[in-house]
Chain A
């Protein structure tokens, strides 16, 4: 099959299979290059909106007693500035970069789940649009981007504003969780043959840790948002101190997300630095393994320091000291990276080129932000500086230094790859100096403004406090910076339109993303490379030509299949052949249906939400139509005289890993809910509640029996091998026992629980039961779906993937339901 067709014909055939046609069909794109570009473009548009809001803030604060906008509008403006920049710019921008670069760096043709990234893109754009439309309508969220309750509760924020935040952001978070699973599984499974973990480009390590952090960090916020929305909509008092709730629960859930979030934003950018800096310094990165250890260390430590956002809430000093120490500890792995970069520069011959100038900006701004971060980790200093403009200055140094400067360096470094054109660079230099000087003028003196007592989020201040000069200077700097960013956008546009054609690999880099044509083809690699070291382009400078000629793996087109290879997780040996789904409008339709679900929640039209949910689930099931094989194929040829099983017949294909990581995130959400119960019991006022649960053992037993039977029957269906009759009988029974579990959970909810609006205890307990109910119901769908797949001929002893995935779900549901029942039934006996 291989080696016989010309590179041109191979290109044409692969393009036909992988490409996105013009016109309306563009909306059906699932290709990582296309979706990655769209993510980045959309993120930049949101960045411009967030920047515009920042300019309004600077106009307002430029003079004392300003009457430019009133406090109501100002509340919306600063809340939306933070929300847009964190959720609609930073995270999606890095996701876009990761989606675009990752397969190319790993030597793969696409991501593991192309339709998932397309769905994530639409969820992001729709969720973000809800927020922006609310802003235009004057009903944007206005309680600050961390939405502290009770200010954000129904009593003190009665309008739709807070709902817009909770629902819009949760919509966007779906996209983030999807992207995280996509990134983790792609890195673990879809690498080029021979690329062991140790041979991965360093960026892959950064992205792997970041994506895992998202899977652990985002669920607490998703849970918090759900609980707060339920409190607002149905009066379940999770956070209401008069009924056993606690405002501090929200703060814990929020910052349990919020602090890792900072590192989730920083690490991909640091990954870009670790890729770019060695190339431009003309020396391999020193301390590669130490950096990997550091990045993993940051991942763990970042979950142990959220309380440093809460040093003034009255937590015991010893507790504060613990989090203070942890906050300082995280400076050490960051220090290791900084000095590894400095050592690399010293060891090499650094080139004075534009991306390097932005890296200088990164060093200066980020190190300064890190230093003020250490200061804020010092508890007594924090008591003074917390909630002042000192913190505003600090966080902008960290985020602009730790994200925007590296991303600008990355933009100028990878733009020739993205556009296939060279930059002229002159505008870029001007833009750098405007941004760098403007930034420091805005934010350096703001440290002093804060220490002189200016709290954050005030919209007017009297002249006698001595802040007016400092604020005026900050505002001037802000406008300089804005002009700098406008210039950057102009420069990039000009380059895309008029730049000279770039040659391949202009920076003489050594990683695989530079082995694709520029701009990249839809299939990225005409054939897949064999990787023998961390620097494949140094090993074989002729690699790009050989790959284009089809000399690697899969250098052919067959059956209109979109084929990539999956490798063993650690070693990089070929494991199986993955057939990716082709382009489809389904992600768009599904995201629209999901949008209907969320809009129904927003406008309290719950019947509409119900329709949206049913259509969404139906469409998600529709995704699988035509996926799979209706007969066992056995090993298939993959080129170079080798063969591999199709992923439907493999033991650990990407989709199985996706389920495992999805359940990890789900487990964190469940753990956060369990934490809520115990936290409230120990810390909140007005506990224990007057009426506790009574009875419920029978319903709990029925629930556990139903779930346990579903899990066992699914196992038995898998063991039935090629014999369809017992398999389908087991699956039918599993669906029936699953229904029994659903009924038991519903009965539990209706007949056993105290009224959830009376006390936070009843509310959290009810939430735990609803959690079990929802999971049992999804389990029924899995069983019924397995039955359908079996009946339509997609299941055999070898092709058991659908059932294995269902089995993971059933096992997980059984385990969490068991814990939930212990929490609901046993904990009240122990605690009272």
Chain B
């Protein structure tokens, strides 16, 4: 009953990577479901082969070493892994902040024990709350003032580490307006658990109004 409940809860949740709300997260979620299916099939194959060895009653023929090692051990993983590698590489390329996306905006995210601060165009926007427009690529330039943290909004896409002395960029897009939750993913000390933040994604028009209103 309990596993059913857990599974039944499904994949949704404020921090769930399986409940994607942007193209970056959608792409990875697809990748996951595909890999899950493949992994389940391979695991089943291995376990069935293992068990069959115990139940079969027929006479053992000559050992087919070339079949087991050449095909099962070598050719099979080479083919599967090559396909996966190329596919993943292409997917990864799409997700990277290469060049300037049309209408992209850039936001600086500065982390410290144990809070986040966001700036647009050098101006302090807010602490703990990141405001972005929907449908537009947002390049977040992430750094840290003390120890290593990691910037992560699971429903929008992958994480990037905030490392003192370095600036890393992650490109995220929110498809639908709403509040998304972000969380520090790299252990950064006693306040790590509570080092979360919120992302408010607004329709472009509402976003422009908010930005104009917030201007000094």
Contact = CB atoms under 8 A, between A and B. Distances in A.
Interface stretch (B60-68, B120-128, B130-138, B198-206): B60-68
A241 B92 CA distance: 29
Contacts of B193: 71, 458-461
Interface string A447-477: 0100111111111110011110110110000
B89 A335 contact: no
Given A151-B188, A320-B92, A328-B81, A466 B9 contact: yes
A437 to B, nearest CB: 13
A684 B164 CA distance: 10
A331 B150 contact: no
B183 interface: yes
A72 interface: yes
Contact of B35 (A312, A378, A455, A465): A378
A364 interface: yes
Nearest to B31: A381
Nearest to B41: A371
Contacts of A464: 14
B148 interface: yes
B179 to A, nearest CB: 12
Interface stretch (A197-205, A345-353, A599-607, A690-698): A345-353
Contacts of A662: none
A246 interface: yes
A67 to B, nearest CB: 12
Given A343-B69, A350-B54, A445-B3, A384 B157 contact: yes
Nearest to A70: B190
A520 interface: no
Contacts of B96: 317
Given A150-B148, A335-B74, A383 B6 contact: no
Interface residues of B, number: 85
B109 interface: no
Interface string B1-18: 011011101011111111
Provide the main secondary structure of the chain A interface: helix
Contacts of B2: 469, 472-473
Contacts of B165: 241-242, 246-247, 684-686
B88 interface: yes
B158 A247 contact: no
B159 interface: yes
Interface string B68-94: 110011101110010011001101110
Contacts of B154: 384, 453
Nearest to A71: B190
Given A379-B89, A469-B2, A342 B49 contact: yes
A338 B181 CA distance: 42
Interface string A516-531: 0000000000000000
Chain A contact-residue range equals 35 or more
Interface string A123-151: 00000000000000000000110001011
A617 interface: no
Interface string A372-395: 101100111111111110000000
B187 A144 contact: yes
A75 B191 CA distance: 10
A337 B17 CA distance: 34
* Most chain B Cβ neighbours within 10 Å, of A340, A345, A378: A378
A246 to B, nearest CB: 6
Given A364-B47, A379-B92, A384-B28, A342 B72 contact: yes
Nearest to B68: A343
Contact of B78 (A144, A332, A386): A332
Interface string A165-179: 000000000000000
A335 B78 CA distance: 10
B72 A335 contact: yes
A283 B53 CA distance: 12
A198 B204 CA distance: 71
A819 interface: no
A465 B196 CA distance: 12
Interface string A344-374: 0111111010000000100110011001101
Nearest to A157: B189
A136 to B, nearest CB: 20
A347 B6 contact: no
A521 B163 CA distance: 57
Contacts of B78: 332
A537 interface: no
A230 interface: no
A182 to B, nearest CB: 32
Contacts of A339: 68-69, 72-73
A246 B11 CA distance: 38
Interface in A675-689: 684-686
A314 B165 CA distance: 12
B211 to A, nearest CB: 28
B104 interface: no
Given A313-B163, A465-B13, A340 B68 contact: yes
28 contacts: A151-B187, A241-B164, A312-B159, A313-B163, A313-B166, A320-B92, A321-B89, A324-B89, A332-B74, A332-B77, A335-B74, A339-B69, A340-B73, A342-B49, A343-B63, A343-B69, A345-B54, A346-B49, A346-B68, A363-B47, A364-B43, A374-B81, A383-B28, A452-B13, A460-B193, A466-B16, A473-B6, A685-B165
Given A360-B50, A470-B6, 16 more contacts: A75-B187, A150-B146, A150-B147, A241-B165, A332-B77, A343-B63, A343-B72, A345-B53, A347-B63, A374-B39, A375-B32, A380-B95, A383-B28, A384-B25, A453-B13, A684-B165
Interface of A: 70-72, 75, 143-144, 148, 150-151, 156, 241-242, 246-248, 281, 283, 286-287, 290, 312-314, 317, 320-321, 324-325, 328-329, 331-332, 335-340, 342-343, 345-350, 352, 360, 363-364, 367-368, 371-372, 374-375, 378-388, 445, 448, 451-461, 464-467, 469-470, 472-473, 684-686
